[in-house]
Amino acid sequence: MRVAHLTTVDMSLALLLATELEVDVASGLETYGLSAPGRYAERVRELGVSHVALPSLTRAWDPRRDVDAARELFGVLRRLRPDVLHTHNPKTGVLGRVVGRLAGVPVVVNTCHGLWAGPDDRLRKRLAVYAAEAAAAGLSDAELYQNGVDRDTLRRMVGRSKTRVVGNGTDLDAFAPDPVSRRRLRSALGLCDDDLLVGGVGRMVAEKGITEFAAVARELRRDATFVWVGPDDPDKPDAVTSAGTDVSFLGERSDMAAVYNALDVFVLPSYREGFSRSAMEAAATATPMVLSDIRGCREIGAHDREVLLVPPRDPVALRAAVERLLCSPELRTRLAAAARHRALACFDQRGVARVSLQTYAAVADSKQLGWIVEREIG
């Protein structure tokens, strides 16, 4: 059985879908990753996945190049003839469902990693996004949602018969408390045991709340060291290149488990999340957290039980929450333990991957396609 996962960029395949791809390969599926070419393609291939580049595919909507990308995708699907096309990301979710159906792929499944419009966006944008998602959903066999808010938003246009909320997960073996890596990385950063370290993780774009994070760093720079970890994203219109001198920008790192372990407080002041992977990773490593009170972050935990939640775009509230954690070792310990417990119970990426396999099998059975995936879901 052949399954092809479609994302806009290869970074999504390598970082966001790695565990799901590994499960597919381990289950005996011939697995393909389709995306624009990039420097993560080799990491995708190391998972045992065949990477197929779509040179015309871009992250931003570009009508002329999108037509070329659709033509490339059609040709690839006709050549590979996958049994399943599983689409991800906003743009490729729409494009892939349309082209997948036109190319005659037997099973088309989409995962919504977060609607690309929210309650704060203008009505025109919300209507356009919701209409595009609903139209594309009409062409798929199953719609998987990482959070219930997004499914409820589209319930009148998509219905519930082929939808399921699957949540999200991470690699709980890779992300776990590790005092040794904590000491090693903090030493490399020039920090002593009793120094406090506050950090954020995410692409260098404004919607991750970097401006608000930097504002808090300016106010609390005497109480803690502030760092931000994540790759540049120059193609995005809200790309951030600098946010003052009170935050050390460490760039992209491959030792993310050590990063979370080194932190005393993890902060994600994001404006939009589908289901925050960085927050799940922080939870799994038992790191105290301050998150935006938005969909995709509320799923990580309840306020004052596993996390502290603050309104997005509110540096005053963000500062108060960060300062509260910095001043209370007991609160940090309590939230860290509760977050780790919830991660073990709810954030296993392999469980999410198994739901995808079960979905493929259920659709194949309902369409009487004649192929069996019992090995994969067993």
For residue range 189-212, list pLDDT tens digits in order: 999 999 999 999 999 999 999 999
CB burial class (10 A; 0-12, 13-18, 19+) of residue 173?
exposed
pLDDT confidence bin for 160, thresholds 50/70/90 = confident
Query: Could you tell me which of 178, 112, 181, 165 has the C-alpha nearest to residue 140?
Result: 112
Angle between helices 329-346 and 277-284 (to 10 degrees): 110
- Compute the residue count for the chain: 378
Write out pLDDT tens, residues 47-87: 999 999 999 999 888 899 999 999 999 999 999 999 999 99
Q: Distance (Å, rounded) from C-alpha 272 to C-alpha 270?
A: 6
The reported pLDDT for the residue numbered 377 is 44
Cα(227)–Cα(199) distance, integer angstroms: 5
Averaged pLDDT of the chain: 94
* Beta bridge pairs of residue 251: 229
- pLDDT for 97-140, tens place per residue? 999 999 999 999 999 998 888 777 889 999 999 999 999 999 99
Q: Read off the pTM.
A: 0.85
Q: Which domains does the chain have, with CATH numbers?
A: 2-169+348-377 (3.40.50.2000), 179-346 (3.40.50.2000)
pLDDT at 243: 66
- d(CA 252, CA 230) in angstroms, rounded, equals 4
Q: What does the pLDDT read at residue 373?
A: 55
- Residue 236: pLDDT band with limits 50, 70, 90: confident
Predicted confidence (pLDDT) at residue 285 exceeds the cutoff of 80: yes
What pLDDT does 121 receive?
A: 83
Check if the beta carbon of residue 285 is closer than 8 Å to that of residue 257.
yes
Please compute the mean of the pLDDT values over residues 296-316 and round it to a whole number: 97
Q: Reply yes or no on whether the pLDDT at 9 is more than 50.
A: yes
Phi-psi region of 311 (alpha: psi -120 to 50; beta: other; left: phi over 0): beta
Smallest CA-to-CA distance from 80 within 36, 111, 56, 50 is with 50
